[in-house]
Amino acid sequence: MKLQNKIGFVFLILLNFANLFSESKKLTLPQAIEQGLKANFDIIRAANISAMQEVGVTSAKWALIPTINMSTSGSQNKKSKVDVIDGFLNTPNPSNSFSSNFNTSVVLFDGMNNWENVSKATNTFEASNLDFIRTKQLVVFEVNRRFFTLLRNKSLLQVSEDNLKRSQQQLKRIDESNKVGALSKAEFYRQQVSTANDELSLIRAKNNYDNSVADLLTYLSLDVTEEYEIENYNIEKEIEETNVNQYLQEFSNANNVSEISIASRTDYSSAILNVTNASSDITIANSTYWPTISANAGFSMSADTLTNLGKKSNANFGLSFSFPIFSGFRTSVAVEQAKLRLNTAEEQLHQTKRKIQVEVKKAILDLESAHKQREVSLKNIIASNEDRRIAEERYTLGAGTLLDLLIANANNTRALSDKVNADYDFLIAKQQLILAVGKERY
């Protein structure tokens, strides 16, 4: 084998290894949603909050059971030296002391404070679980929105690339015609400026695409320095006309959809639990007006030596009763504050209901508007394609001007971009409606 062939063979192997290690990872929409539900910061935070509230329920329940304490102590004094005091020998006696104590106590009644704390902790935990569900819905919507934004920018990038290719081909034809004197230098310069603008548009479209990739990867807590191949999403299948009409018909009645949404939205259910907790706060604040009754029991042993420790013991049990007489108006202030919190929670509940109704109605209107916009964009593409074809033919035959052709090309590019935007606006509007209804669970 010749030396050049050997070098080429080695280079080919190294190139294959380089391609192997630099192969980009594939990322589909389902994979992105799965990654978002697993690693997004909002998901992790909501899960941790729910776990902490669960610990709070356990802590509140443990407050109902008796407390148990045990203590043991011992001391030993060694015999010290003999002192002579007033002519008499003073011999101190060693003193030893050992004791062990065991006691337990439980609150029998404290104005229902302990039971209300359990109820409040349980409601708070349930509310955190509902908030966790809503957080997952928000994350799924945001992943869809960012993924569709990425695909939108990818499609717009393709439109810019195709437009630049046409401009470059047109510039080449004009340059050749100018060299033989068929066209003026001014038309060449005009097309050159148009091509430069198209190059700038392509650079901007590439930047928008790269930024949307970085935004998606950041939201998914993925490494933005790694290369990911974003797989295309079959949007045409989802936006088929029959499916669109069915979808719009399903959500045609905004009032019925609002009622369904209020019943299914976890943030509304969480707001109801907040009202319940605010009522519990009033009960807890009022509990200090009531007496506190506790039961206690104890067992103790003491002796001067460890061997005699169990020979002397004492057992006791009893009830304790305490009644607040004056607390410096702290109780009345706490009750008033709890009532104000209840009023705020009730207003928040009403506000959440109104918010859901507005979100649903707006989502339906946005979906209908996006659907109409897509219909218009489809017709606009047909018209702009025909206008460009006629302008190209007229310019080729010398019956039209370069300005007419540039305008036709710009209108066609704009129509293609509008079609891309209309498609993804519809998909995002559909996801917005799904989020507003809140029936999906992840």
Q: What does the pLDDT look like over 49-71, one tens digit per residue? A: 999 999 999 999 898 888 889 88
For the cut 60, the answer to whether the pLDDT of residue 93 exceeds it is: no
* Mean local confidence (pLDDT), 110-137: 93
Task: Give the pLDDT band of residue 102 (cuts 50, 70, 90).
Answer: confident
At residue 10, the pLDDT reads 44
Residue 154 or residue 253, greater confidence: 154
Query: Is 86 a member of any domain?
Result: no
* Mean local confidence (pLDDT), 156-169: 91
Closest-CA residue to 119 (of 263, 268, 287): 287
Provide the domain limits for residue 144.
25-68+108-293+329-437
At residue 407, the pLDDT reads 86
Alpha-carbon separation of residue 132 from 125, 216, 416 (angstroms): 10, 21, 40
For the cut 90, the answer to whether the pLDDT of residue 142 exceeds it is: yes
Least confident of 39-48, 89-98, 271-280: 89-98
At residue 406, the pLDDT reads 85
Residue 2 or residue 384, greater confidence: 384
For the cut 90, the answer to whether the pLDDT of residue 310 exceeds it is: no
Going by their DSSP bridges, the two strands 25-27 and 228-230 should be labelled as parallel
How many separate domains does the chain show?
1
Query: Is 306 a member of any domain?
Result: no
Q: In the chain, what percentage of residues exceed pLDDT 70?
A: 87
Residue 418 or residue 310, greater confidence: 418
Least confident of 304-308, 353-357, 430-434: 304-308
At residue 201, the pLDDT reads 92
Query: Is 40 a member of any domain?
Result: yes
Query: Is 6 a member of any domain?
Result: no
At residue 255, the pLDDT reads 75
Highest mean pLDDT (candidates 37-41, 75-79, 80-84): 37-41
Going by their DSSP bridges, the two strands 25-27 and 88-90 should be labelled as unpaired
Token pair of 268, please? Answer: 């509304």
Query: Is 305 a member of any domain?
Result: no
* Mean local confidence (pLDDT), 341-364: 94
Query: Is 289 a member of any domain?
Result: yes
Least confident of 9-18, 134-143, 246-255, 375-384: 9-18
Query: Is 202 a member of any domain?
Result: yes
Q: What does the pLDDT look like over 229-279, one tens digit per residue? A: 888 777 777 777 666 777 777 777 777 888 888 999 999 999 999 999 999
Residue 237 or residue 429, greater confidence: 429
At residue 298, the pLDDT reads 87
At residue 155, the pLDDT reads 92
Contacts of 53 (CB under 8 A, 6+ apart): 121, 124, 125, 127, 128
At residue 197, the pLDDT reads 92
At residue 140, the pLDDT reads 96
Query: Is 209 a member of any domain?
Result: yes
At residue 31, the pLDDT reads 93
Work out the mean pLDDT of the chain and round it to a whole number: 84
**CATH code of 129's domain:** 1.20.1600.10
Task: Give the pLDDT band of residue 83 (cuts 50, 70, 90).
Answer: low
At residue 89, the pLDDT reads 54
For the cut 60, the answer to whether the pLDDT of residue 84 exceeds it is: no
Enter the pTM of the model: 0.81
Q: What does the pLDDT look like over 166-202, one tens digit per residue? A: 888 888 887 777 776 666 678 788 888 988 998 999 9
